[in-house]
Structure 1
Amino acid sequence: MKAVLFDMDGVIVDTNPHHRLAWRSYFERYGKPLTDADFVQYVSGKHNNDILSHLFPDRSLSLTEARQLAAEKEALFRELYLPDIQPVAGLAGFLQLLRNSGIRTAVATSAPVENLDFVMDTLNLRAYFDVLLDESKVSHPKPNPEIYQKGMQLLSVEPNESVIFEDSTTGIRAAKAAGAYVIGLTTTDSAKELISAGADEVIGDFTELSPDRFQELANRSVSV
């Protein structure tokens, strides 16, 4: 293993409960309720453009309108999450271990750059990452593997030298399509769902990565 790539929401920070609150409030702002079932079907793991298409099914949103509406929602999310923001358990120690071991790192998130900057700077994590990729850096969102392929290219590593951490079935499919070894976190989807989507193994959080397990990963070379 020469590189580790991280999704952000549900991997670096467990933002999903606050995204749920933000989307519910945002839907209500425009007169449409968002049930838990609707959240799972239309919101969880989806790109903002797809979610907005569900919220405004009778409107043909221009690119500018879609960006403005998405920015409104993400600003609401950051406001709601700021008092509670914290990294997923064990992340800080794991990042330091990677840094001490000379393993390169990247964040590859479908979130907007404002959210990426918010998380990196509020938690003082920016120095731990060699590459930061947000939705604006790619043409095709997950489950397309483009963001992970670009991340590995910028890190100058091959897929069989890379480990990716993801939390959703959509992200797992993108990571597997990129050819890396994929570890799922059960912050969003269940272990069964993550394994079914292609995760090679599943953890609850980074405290489960013992020094021995880390060494196994560090010695890993995946056949693609």
Structure 2
Amino acid sequence: MNSDVQLAVLFDMDGVLIDSYAAHFESWQVVAKQRGGTYTEEEFVAGFGRTSRELIREQWNGAENWSEDEVAQLDNDKEAAFRDILNENFPAMPGGRELIFDLYERGFRIAVASSGPRENVQLVIDRLEIGSCLSAVITGNDVTKGKPDPQVFQLAAQGVDVPNPLCCVIEDAPAGVAAANAAGSSCIGLVRPGKYSVNLDDANLIVSHLNEINPAKIAELIQSRQG
């Protein structure tokens, strides 16, 4: 492949740029307790990578009959609780900010492509101070279909003006890996060790830490998948 071909990296946010596992789980528990219910870790893990609106409809007792306003209210309450928790303790993923600046300096176009609401994504971008490196930001507010549908990565590729086959997605959830594959992008899976680790075998490369990858390795991965 011509070295002048423009390449891009599309970063998922939760579990990739921030270690938000605990904050998201706690925020679901907060809103469940407020409504007299509980929320298990198994339910939480089952929803990795998908939008809160979808999970509420599927997991919340009786929510299949709720109005859109009722779903939106619970969604808003949950995400507000999440931001409160994150503002108290911001768990940046080791190596994420450094990787983004390294990619930017090497000429990659970069996007954040997340199922989270715009307010959450902007909070993370601001706290990491990576806004100047980004060519596009796609959030859950911009999509009509959550992962594993490829829409979020298709929109991100359009936003950075790079076709999906020349983009590499970095993801930590099976639904996100499936979305990247459906979009025709390369995918690096970032695994979470422990009891609730998930299967990312469909990714093209699996790593345990972001410092295991660099611009050269990402370019090689993208180029190796071209015909």
- TM-score under structure 1 length normalisation: 0.89
Distance 2:112 2:212 in 1: 20
1:223/1:47 CA distance change after superposition, 3 Å: same
Distance 1:223 1:183 in 2: 16
Distance 2:213 2:43 in 1: 34
Q: What SS does the corresponding residue of 1:139 show, helix, strand or coil?
A: coil
Aligned to 2:102: 97
> Any runs of at least 4 consecutive aligned residues in structure 1 with deviations exceeding 6 A, and if so which?
none
Distance 2:171 2:159 in 1: 19
Distance 1:59 1:114 in 2: 26
| Structure 1 letter corresponding to 2:204 | D
For the Cα contact (< 8 Å) 2:50–2:146, is it kept in 1?
no
Aligned to 1:218: 219
Distance 2:218 2:124 in 1: 26
Residue 151 (structure 1) shift: 1.0
Per-residue CA shift, 1:3-35, capped at 9, x if unaligned?
A: 000111111111011101111121111111122
Aligned to 1:199: 203
CA-atom RMSD, angstroms? Answer: 1.9
Does 2:38 match 1:33? yes
Does 2:80 match 1:75? yes
Distance 1:10 1:216 in 2: 21
For the Cα contact (< 8 Å) 2:97–2:128, is it kept in 1?
no
Aligned to 2:3: none
Residue 58 (structure 1) shift: 5.6
Does 2:118 match 1:113? yes
Residue 137 (structure 1) shift: 1.1
Aligned residues: 217
For the Cα contact (< 8 Å) 1:7–1:108, is it kept in 2?
yes
**Which residues in structure 2 correspond to 1:3-18 (within 5 Å)?**
3-18=8-23
1:57/1:128 CA distance change after superposition, 3 Å: same
Residue 142 (structure 1) shift: 0.7
For the Cα contact (< 8 Å) 2:169–2:187, is it kept in 1?
yes
Residue 59 (structure 1) shift: 6.0
Residue ranges of structure 2 left out of the alignment (5+ in a row):
1-5
**Which residues in structure 2 correspond to 1:39-50 (within 5 Å)?**
39-41=44-46, 43-50=47-54
For the Cα contact (< 8 Å) 1:14–1:187, is it kept in 2?
no
Residue 47 (structure 1) shift: 2.1
Q: What SS does the corresponding residue of 1:147 show, helix, strand or coil?
A: helix
Distance 2:142 2:43 in 1: 29
| Structure 2 letter corresponding to 1:223 | Q
Sequence identity percentage:
29
| Structure 2 letter corresponding to 1:182 | C
